[in-house]
Structure formats: C-alpha cells, structure tokens
Amino acid sequence: MSGGTDSSVAAILLKECHSIIEGITFISYDSLLKSCNEKEKGCCNIDSIMMAKNLADKLNINHNIIDLRDEFEQSVIKDFISEYMSGNTPNPCVLCNKTIKWGKLFNIAKKTKCDFLATGHYAQVVCENGRYFIRKGVDTLKDQSYFLWMLSQENLAKTIFPLGGLRKNEVREIAIKNSYDYLAQKKESQEICFIPNDNYRTFLRERIPDIEQKPGPGNFVNIEGKIIGQHKGFPFYTIGQRKGLEIAMGYPVYVLDIDADTNTITLGDGSQLLKTEVWINRINFMKYPDIYEEKDAMCKIRYNNKGEECYVKQYGDKIKIEFKNPVSAVTPGQSAVIYEENDIIAGGIIMKSN
C-alpha cells in the first residue's frame, strides 16, 4: 500500500472479497521520509505512508510499515550506480520488483502465512499448461507487464493483480463510489522513486563525489573513431541521447555507443542508431520453459515502446532477437521483454554489441 490511487483501490477490492488482509507499506529510501513540501526531494512518501495507514484503518486492515532502506540500498541503488558506471542504462523498477516487492515483501508474506501477495499493478497472472505467466493489463495505456518480467514461477503462483482487468477510469470510479474522492484525484508519479525530478546526473554526483574527476572528461568520436569533441564523462550520457551534448556538427547527432573502459562516446546520425539484432542475458522464462525453436514474437525494448515484430531464439543462457524492421536506440542495461500477443514469453537484459 503506497497511499496512491492504484494500490488503495486494489485494497478496497480485496477487502470486498476477503475477510483477512494485511497491508504493507515499505520505506525504501531516506528521502521518502521527507514531506511533500520538500519538492527537491522528489518522492513525498511521508504523506503517502499516512494516507495508506488512514485507508487501512477505515477498511479495518492491519497496516504494517516495513523499513527496507538497507535492502533497497544494497540491491537496487548499488546496481543502479554500478550499471551507469559500466556504461549501461539500468532499469531499477524491474530490479525492485524482483528483489524488494517479490523478494523481501514476498518472504514476509510467507512468514505471516498470507496466501497471496497483491499489488496495484495493471497486469494479469495466467496459468496454462502448468506455467504461470504475465498477461498485459486490459488498459493498454497503463499496462505495467514490462516491469514484471523477472518474477519467478513461485512469485506468480502467489500473486494477485486486482486491477489487471480494469481501466484507469474504472479504478477512479471505484474510489469515488467508495467515498474516496481524494484518491480519484491524486496525481501519478512517473519518476524513479529515488531520483528527484528524473535527474539521475545529480544523483550520481551526490553519490560519487569525485565523478567529475573519475572518469572525468573524455572524447566524443565519430563512427570511424575520429575525435570530434569532448564530453563531461561517460556516466552522464545514454544511448540515443541528442539534447545536452553541447557539440555542433551542422546536423543532429546522437549517442551511438558508450565505452566505459576508455571513457569514449561515439556519436552519429539517426540512421546509425538503427539495429536489427540484439542479444539478451539474465533471462527469465514465463509462458514457455525455453525457446530453442525460433518463434515469431513482439519485443518491447523500453516501457514506452509499442513493441517491435521480431524472431527470437534461445542459445544457451542467452536469447537472440532479430527485428523484422530496424529499431532505434537499443540500450544496453535496459530490459527487453518478449511477448506472444499479450503474454510474456520471457525477458532479459540487453547486452552490449560486440
């Protein structure tokens, strides 16, 4: 229970069907203890915690506040920093779901003998042929299946998504119908919870005080390797970036490649961003136990990506994805999630090109 619209309505719906519910709100980061008035701190969870508690009291739900700051630091934040310092662009929400929500909280649920873990995600859990998998939420504009590809079979067998079959407007209507008008009017946060204003560069500077010197400035090069300018340090750039490069080439240029070992960033035009092939590792299979036989599929390479037609095939502990049409800005470190229509087949982490 985050105090937001979705998890609150999920709790309302569950309370209508089940007599015994345990509500959990977790604290993941120090800045989440700040007030909403401290806008520079980003997330305003001190107020959200109280909203969750007040709702739980009204619903007669036992409410637990769990401090997971140490666990969040060790698993999510350290990985976030490590990935950027390796020249990759991480997806912390995917890792948080695996290690915190369906890691620590899942274990707490088991210890307290709860039968299921429920959240306000817009997604659905399906079981066919002895396999559990995620199906997209009915509301395609709110679908959050992309962030859930790391969940295990054990996780999915004990998970409920009360909002999976609803659209956002229906969720707001449920809040109003139950006299929680303030929930229907709450704004949604699109930020990473520990990155105020989505400014990851400021976060890295705060966490790595000498980042301006190590790695420090480096070279921009073109596709032939010729030096064409200087940048501020590779951690401050991402694949596909065009704005903020502070270099004039007479035509739009984009970040094509980041080499952390040499602190070199390759720039090129938009056509040079296109790829037809990508490999992923750290695979988690859902609908099928493997895909050694080539399949037609759809692949999302980022959350707001509509999905790209492709062929996929497993090779050992990796999957090769061949796009039917060239795809722009494939970013190492991000998640690639493979779908069969609305069902997740598998997901993995995009690897650097050789």
Residues 97-126: tens digit of each pLDDT: 999 999 999 999 988 889 999 999 999 999
Say whether the peptide bond before residue 215 is cis (omega within 30 degrees of 0): yes
pLDDT value, residue 294 = 97
Looking at residue 33, its pLDDT comes to 54
When mean pLDDT is compared across 43-47, 282-286, 333-337, 350-354, the lowest value belongs to 43-47
Q: Would you say the C-alpha torsion 37, 38, 44, 48 has a positive or negative sign?
A: negative
Would you call 43 a catalytic residue per the annotation?
Answer: no
- The active-site residue, picked from 43, 44, 96, 310, is 96
178-222 confidence digits (pLDDT tens): 998 888 887 776 678 888 778 899 999 999 999 999 899 999 999
Could you read off the pLDDT of 122-177 as tens digits, one per residue? 999 999 999 999 999 999 999 999 999 999 999 999 999 999 999 999 999 999 99
- Whether residue 37 has pLDDT greater than 70: no
Active site includes 96? yes
For the cut 80, the answer to whether the pLDDT of residue 338 exceeds it is yes
Query: Is the pLDDT reported for residue 41 higher than 50?
Result: no
pLDDT digits (tens, 9 = 90+) for 273-319: 999 999 999 999 999 999 999 999 999 999 988 999 999 999 999 99
From the list 43, 193, 299, 310, the catalytic residue is 193
270: left (phi over 0), alpha (psi -120 to 50) or beta: alpha
Tokens (6 digits) for 253? 């240029």
Hey, what are 22's tokens? 């345990």
Domain annotation for the chain: domains and CATH numbers: 5-198 (3.40.50.620), 210-268 (2.30.30.280), 273-350 (2.40.30.10)
Specify the pTM. 0.93
- Which pLDDT band, with edges at 50, 70 and 90, does 31 fall under? low
**Residue 188 tokens, joined:** 């949604």
